[in-house]
């Protein structure tokens, strides 16, 4: 069976330039790859045909010979210049490797196997900070101590003793990765000599042992804005770990946890405070004094006949919204207390009051009327 024209195989026009040929091959390689065409028995043969075509057309000398003589250029030893495609199928490893970098180069550490930068960015750090509700209300300046890695002063972060320069890794030629041929595919692995750094140090720094950084505690002053709540994250740029061998420093993230309060319960910017009141105050009405989160006091009027669970609002007495946006409210919830440890006189007064208060308990009267109706219906 006669071979198809190589330009036709790659889907490009005759005389196409190198960029067009490479683009055509990329499309065909993705389209015809056997892993994507398990149900197409011809896919592997077409895939090899595309590899063979690209192997010839990507090489200027082979391309010139093909343009002049066609397939005959690689028959009977014609064409010279390194010979034709091996076994009539082309060097797939070489061909696919050319587009491997183009397809995956950015992910693997740079296009075209470019030299890897030995300096690596330091890790970001997390610090959990617990504060009380009063500090969350007013904001604060807090000094924290963070264990981290800082640049080594002995070698100025290079990792090399006496300021000497690191050497390019002889195994990977500075790329930080090595390639191995496995069948049809070229596999890249981290260089075992330099551990992916791309450089080796002949005489490591005695202080940091070639790392370019040392472990140390660092004290930082942190501004906690008013209105923070549990889960608020504060970023301190450049306060994380120092980079490897002079690389940029990571960031420090401070996560806020606001402790529960003995008096107030928080819901976004609103505060809730449960205040006990006596039966007399709830029944007759009166005034109570309640605390506020700013350390002050507010007097609140209790309406006559108030029940447990009744809420009253104090506007503007809640928490400030983070970075502006107003202030929430404070809600007072009444809890009517039943007196305990009564004296004989108090018992006598309460019994007398109970005998005179048949019409003074609206909820109780309504409840027992409903109960009586229920029992009557059950009997019938």
Q: Residue 60 has which token pair?
A: 């200027």
> Would you say 191 is a known binding-site residue?
yes
Closest of 94, 93, 53 to residue 74, by C-alpha: 53
**How remote is the C-alpha of 146 from its chain's centroid?**
21
Cα angle: 259, vertex 262, 265; to 5 degrees: 70
Report CA-CA distances (Å) from 61 to 55, 64, 283. 11, 5, 105
> Would you say 155 is a known binding-site residue?
yes
d(CA 156, CA 214): 11
> Would you say 273 is a known binding-site residue?
no
Closest of 149, 167, 168 to residue 157, by C-alpha: 149
For the chain, report the end-to-end CA distance as a whole number of angstroms.
101
Residue 220 in contact with residue 143, Cβ under 8 Å? yes
d(CA 303, CA 380): 43
Q: What is the DSSP string of 208-250?
A: TTTSSEEEEEEEEEEEE-TT--TT-EEEETT-SPPPBTTPPP-
The position carrying tokens 């075992």 is 192
Pick out the residues of the known binding site: 152, 155, 169, 172, 191, 194, 205, 208
Pick out the residues of the known binding site for Zn(2+): 152, 155, 169, 172, 191, 194, 205, 208
């Amino acid at each position: 069976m006669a071979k198809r024209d190589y330009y036709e195989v790659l889907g490009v026009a005759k005389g196409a330039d190198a960029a067009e040929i490479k683009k055509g091959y990329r499309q065909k390689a993705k389209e015809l790859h056997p892993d994507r065409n398990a149900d197409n028995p011809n896919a592997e043969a077409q895939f090899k045909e595309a590899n063979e075509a690209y192997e010839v057309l990507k090489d200027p000398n082979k391309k010139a010979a093909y343009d002049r003589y066609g397939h005959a250029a690689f028959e009977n030893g014609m064409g010279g210049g390194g010979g034709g495609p091996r076994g009539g199928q082309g060097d797939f490893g070489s061909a696919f490797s050319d587009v491997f970098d183009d397809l995956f180069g950015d992910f693997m550490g740079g296009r075209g196997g470019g030299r890897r930068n030995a300096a690596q960015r330091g890790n970001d750090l997390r610090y959990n900070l617990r504060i009380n509700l009063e500090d969350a209300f007013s904001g604060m300046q807090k000094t924290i101590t963070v264990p981290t890695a800082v640049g080594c002063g002995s070698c100025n972060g290079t990792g090399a003793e006496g300021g000497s320069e690191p050497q390019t890794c002889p195994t990977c030629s500075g790329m930080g990765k090595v390639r191995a041929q496995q069948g049809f595919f070229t596999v890249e692995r981290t260089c075992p000599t330099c551990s992916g750094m791309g450089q080796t140090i002949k005489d490591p720094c005695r202080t940091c042992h070639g790392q370019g950084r040392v472990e140390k505690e660092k004290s930082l002053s942190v501004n906690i804005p008013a209105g923070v709540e549990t889960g608020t994250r504060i970023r301190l740029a450049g306060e994380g770990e120092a980079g490897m061998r002079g690389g940029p420093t990571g960031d420090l993230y401070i996560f806020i946890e606001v402790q529960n309060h003995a008096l107030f319960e928080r819901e976004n910017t609103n505060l809730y405070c449960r205040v006990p009141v006596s039966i007399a105050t709830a029944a007759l009405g009166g005034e109570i004094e309640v605390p506020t989160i700013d350390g002050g006091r507010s007097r609140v009027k209790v309406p006559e006949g108030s029940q447990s669970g009744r809420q009253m609002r104090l506007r503007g007495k809640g928490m400030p919204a983070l970075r502006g946006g107003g202030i929430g409210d404070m809600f007072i919830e009444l809890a009517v207390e039943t007196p305990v440890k009564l004296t004989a006189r108090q018992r006598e007064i309460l019994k007398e009051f109970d005998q005179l208060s048949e019409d003074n308990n609206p909820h109780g009267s309504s409840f027992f009327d409903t109960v009586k109706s229920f029992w009557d219906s059950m009997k019938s």
